[in-house]
């Protein structure tokens, strides 16, 4: 039962253009969402997050949008740079689910930014 | 500042063996979580510990166990290894039992 889904395993964009990575979730109890970036041989690195009480959060070139009614979130990277090439994971959590702050991850989207 | 340190970085074990993976959190972080990442999938939650007590456990068999020590470091133990246990095991620490995780680089376990 995949509660967090990233349906696009890969995405290729030209340097300078916008990258849009998508994520869908099924559990309405999720109240916090995070994006992580992962390079080979490294652990995931936190990128940006959003609370369920917001619909947008921006940090520099990165913006996350949340559509609660559609149970959908997206990460926008503008402008995309070759150094952004990595695997991006969407994750969700909800303290109401249990006493832990476990993250439920999607399967990831591999982004390639072409020079 | 040192980040989350995991050891060993790579490990090869035979089916049926036991393995212990170790994690040192960032100084001052009291919570440690363990995740398993199988190739082609996202990380999957195994355990969270906070102040040496288990706060949560994922859907893993009893062959998986963990503990947290007074210095907040942690061990993940896996008994009776199966081929399917081959994965990248990630440790993450946070100051408190909250979302502010910092991940280590992981231990790559191969079971043959």
What is the DSSP annotation of B36-97?
EE-TTS--EEEEEEETTEEEEE-S--TTEEEEE-TTS-EEEEE-S--GGG-EEEEEEEESSS
Q: Which residues from B are below 8 Å from A7, CB to CB?
A: none
Residue B26 CA to its chain's centroid (Å) = 14
Phi–psi pair at A61, nearest 5 degrees: -80, -5
- Residue B95's pLDDT is 85
Cα–Cα dist B111/B84, whole Å: 8
User: B68, B74 in Cβ contact below 8 A?
Assistant: yes
- Residue A29's pLDDT is 87
Average pLDDT over residues B46-64: 93
Is beta strand A10-14 parallel, antiparallel or unpaired with respect to B31-37?
unpaired
Contact A107 B40 (CB under 8 A): yes
Contact A101 B90 (CB under 8 A): no
Neighbours of A113 (CB within 10 A): 21
- Residue B83's pLDDT is 97
Q: State chain A's mean pLDDT as an integer.
A: 93
Phi–psi pair at A83, nearest 5 degrees: -65, -10
Contact B101 A41 (CB under 8 A): no
- Residue A79's pLDDT is 98
Average pLDDT over residues A67-83: 97
Residue B93, Cβ density class (10 Å: 0-12 exposed, 13-18 middle, ≥19 buried): buried
The answer on pLDDT for B2 being more than 80 is no
Whether chain B has a CB inside 8 Å of the CB on A52: the answer is: no
Average pLDDT over residues A39-61: 94
* CA distance to A6, B9, B60, B94, per residue, from A24 (Å): 7, 33, 24, 26
The answer on pLDDT for A98 being more than 80 is no
User: Taking CB atoms and an 8 Å cut-off, how many pairs form between chains A and B?
Assistant: 66
B104 pLDDT band, cuts 50/70/90, is very high
Name the closest residue on chain A to residue B34, using Cα atoms: A102
- The dihedral through the CA atoms of A48, A54, A58, A63 has a sign that is positive
A56 pLDDT band, cuts 50/70/90, is very high
Contact B42 A4 (CB under 8 A): yes
Whether chain B has a CB inside 8 Å of the CB on A99: the answer is: yes
State the DSSP code for A108. -
Cα–Cα dist A7/B70, whole Å: 42
Instruction: Report the percent of chain B where pLDDT is more than 90.
Output: 84
Q: CB under 8 Å to A81, separation ≥6 — which residues?
A: A15, A61, A113
* CA distance to A6, A92, B41, B42, B59, per residue, from A9 (Å): 7, 18, 10, 11, 25
pLDDT digits (tens, 9 = 90+) for B17-45: 999 999 999 999 999 999 999 988 999 99
3-state secondary structure of A82: helix
Q: Which residues from A are below 8 Å from B4, CB to CB?
A: 43
Residue A35, Cβ density class (10 Å: 0-12 exposed, 13-18 middle, ≥19 buried): buried
Average pLDDT over residues A61-77: 97
Q: Which residues from A are below 8 Å from B35, CB to CB?
A: 103, 105
């Amino acid at each position: 039962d995949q509660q967090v889904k990233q349906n696009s395993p890969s995405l290729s964009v030209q340097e300078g253009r916008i990258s849009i990575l998508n994520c869908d979730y099924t559990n309405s109890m999720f109240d916090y969402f995070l994006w992580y970036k992962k390079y080979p041989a490294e652990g995931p690195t936190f990128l940006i997050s959003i609370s369920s009480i917001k619909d947008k959060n921006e940090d520099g070139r990165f913006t996350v949008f949340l559509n609660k009614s559609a149970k959908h979130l997206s990460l926008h990277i503008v402008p995309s740079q070759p150094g952004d090439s990595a695997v991006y994971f969407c994750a969700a959590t909800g303290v109401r689910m249990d006493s832990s702050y476990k993250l439920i991850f999607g399967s990831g989207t591999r982004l390639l930014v072409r020079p | 500042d040192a980040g989350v340190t995991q050891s060993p970085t790579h490990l090869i074990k035979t089916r049926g063996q036991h393995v212990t993976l170790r994690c040192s959190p960032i100084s001052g972080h009291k919570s440690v979580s363990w995740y398993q990442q199988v190739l082609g999938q996202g990380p999957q939650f195994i355990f969270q510990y906070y102040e040496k007590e288990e706060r949560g456990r994922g859907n893993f068999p009893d062959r998986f166990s963990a503990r947290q020590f007074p210095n907040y470091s942690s061990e993940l133990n896996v008994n009776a290894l199966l081929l399917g246990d081959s994965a990248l095991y990630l440790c993450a620490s946070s100051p408190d039992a909250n979302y502010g995780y910092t991940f280590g680089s992981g231990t790559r376990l191969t079971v043959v």
